[in-house]
A and B are shown apart, each in its own frame.
Chain A
C-alpha cells in the first residue's frame, strides 16, 4: 500500500483525493497504456510471500500419497503430488514435477526422470480429448516402465513408455502416445497425441517422424544408460542425511523471536 501511495503522489495526483483502497487500482490504470479492461485484484492480507519450509517434496492429495522406494533418489526440489509411485532404483532429478492429481503416474524400476521434466496425467474422461482414448484404448495414466531414461526438460502427459527406452531431452509426449520397448526418441521431438513409436526405432522431430531403425549395439546400450544414471543417483542419494538438521536453525530463530519452541 505504501509503495502505491508513493507512486501516485509521485505522479502529482493529489493523494488526498484518492482514498487508500483505490490507490493501487488508480496507479495501475494510470500506468498501463493502452487502456484495457481494468483487472480488479483484491489481494488477501494473509498471503504468505515467503515460507521458510519451502516447497514440500511429497504432496498428498486426499487419500493419495506419493510413494517413493527406499533407494530411489528424488531431488529436494522435485514436486510429487497425488498418485505417484517411484519404484526401486529410479531417480527423479532436480526441478521435475510429477503431478499425479488426475491420474496415476508410475516410474518403473531403474528409470530416471531428468532435470526439470513435467510428468502429468490427464483424467480419462471421454469429453476430454475426444479423439484419444476411444481410439487407442490406452489408459490415461502415465506409465514409465523399467530402464527408461527420460531426458531433461521433457513433458510427458498421459503416455505409456514401455521398458528400455530413451526419451530425448526437451521432448514432448502428448496424451495417449505409446513408446514401444527399445526405441529412442531424439531430443526435441514432439509426439502427437495417440502416436505409437514402434519397437526398436529412432524417431524424432516435430511432429515425430521415423528416422531409422536402431542397430543391435544401440539397443543394448539403452538399459546400460539407465543403470549408469542409477549409479550416479546413488552418489547423490548418499549426499543427503536421512533427516535434515534445519530444525536447529528454526529453533534458533524462534527463540530469538520469542516464539515458544
Chain B
C-alpha cells in the first residue's frame, strides 16, 4: 500500500504541475491583460521614517486598518476594519478602551489656516461609533460619542460625555460642552443628553472591548486553524437542532464555534426543549 500511496501522490503532483503549466499557457494567451496576483502589501502598522506607531498589546487592530506614523494606542482599544489613522505629520494619541469603528479616518494637520495646530487626542472609552467618521486634528475627551459619519474639523473639542450626532459637520475650533448633543451641518446644539444615554455610551464602549477580543482572536488565526474550523463548521452545519430535539439527541456545539456570552447581552447558550407537538 505504501507504493500505491506514493504513486497516487506522484500522479497528484503531476496533475498540479500540469495545472500550473496550463495556467501559464492561459496567461500567455491573455497577453498583457492577464491578471497577475501578488501578495498583499498592505501594512497594518506602518512607520514613516522614524515615526512608528506604538500600539498596546491588548489592542485589536483590524488587518485592513492602517495605523501610520506617530500614533499611540492605549490598552483595550480597538481599531476596526478599514480605518486609517494617519499620524504622519503630527501626533495621534488614542486612549484606552476606545473604539474607532469601521472606515473611520483620524488625521492630523501640519499647518492650518489659523496657524495653530494641535495633535489629535482621543481620550479613554470614547466611541467613535462613526463608521466613517472623519476626525481631523481635534481633541475628543473621555467617554464621548462621535456618531456615524460625523466630520470633526481642525481644533474641534468634544468634551467628556458629549455626543456628536450622526452626519454632522463640526466646524473648526468648535467646542462641544459636556453632556450635550450637537448635530447638523454646521454642528449646532441640539439637546442635552439624558443620564441614561450617558450610561449607554460607557456601556457601549465596554461592549466593544469584548467584541474586539473576538474579532482579534478570529483575525489572528493561522491557516491551519482556519481550515480546522472550516471543517468543523461544515460538519456542524448539517445538523438541525429541531430535528435533533425530536429524536431526543443533544449534540454539542464544538467549543471553537461558541461565542463568549459577554458579547450579546441576551444570548442564551442553553436551548429550552419544546414540548408542544
Partners in one complex: yes
A255 to chain B, nearest CB (A): 14
What is the chain A residue whose CB lies nearest that of B67?
Answer: A49
Known A49-B44, A153-B132; contact A41-B73, beta-carbon cutoff 8 A:
yes
What's the interface size class on B, roughly? 35 or more
Asked whether A118 and B131 contact (CB < 8 A) given A39-B74, A55-B64, A62-B258, the answer is yes
Of A32, A63, A157, A249, the residue contacting B119 (CB under 8 A) is A32
B63 adjacent to chain A (CB < 8 Å): yes
Q: Is the CB of A215 closer than 8 A to any CB of chain B?
A: no
- Is chain B's binding surface mostly helix, strand, loop or mixed? loop
State the CA gap A218–B95 with chains docked (Å): 49
B149 touches A155 (CB 8 A): yes
- From B257, which residue of chain A is reached at the shortest CB distance? A63
Contact with A along B250-265 (1 / 0, CB 8 A): 0001000111000111
B23 contacts A by Cβ under 8 Å? yes
Is the pair A47, B45 in contact by a Cβ cutoff of 8 Å? yes
Over the window 118-161 of chain B, the binary record of Cβ atoms lying under 8 Å from chain A Cβ atoms (1 yes, 0 no) is 01010000000011100000000000000011000000000000
1/0 contact trace for B53-72 toward A, CB 8 Å? Answer: 01111000111100000001
Given the complex, which residues of B lie within 8 Å of A188, measured CB to CB? 167
Minimal Cβ-Cβ distance residue in A for B184? A206
- Say yes or no: B63 contacts A56, CB within 8 Å: yes
- CB–CB A41/B218 < 8 A: no
Q: Is the CB of A246 within 8 A of B39?
A: yes
Structural contact, A101 and B38, CB atoms closer than 8 A? no
The interface residues of chain A lying within 8 Å CB-to-CB of B62 are 55, 79
Contacts A155-B132, A155-B166 supplied; 16 other A-B pairs, CB < 8 Å? A43-B54, A43-B57, A51-B63, A55-B62, A60-B218, A79-B62, A79-B102, A97-B81, A102-B211, A172-B166, A174-B166, A190-B149, A239-B35, A246-B37, A246-B38, A249-B37
Residues of chain B having any CB pair with chain A under 8 Å: 20, 23, 35, 37-46, 50, 52, 54-57, 61-64, 72-75, 80-82, 91, 93, 95-96, 101-103, 119, 121, 130-132, 148-149, 166-168, 184-185, 196-197, 200, 203-204, 211, 214-215, 218-220, 223, 229, 233, 236-237, 253, 257-259, 263-266
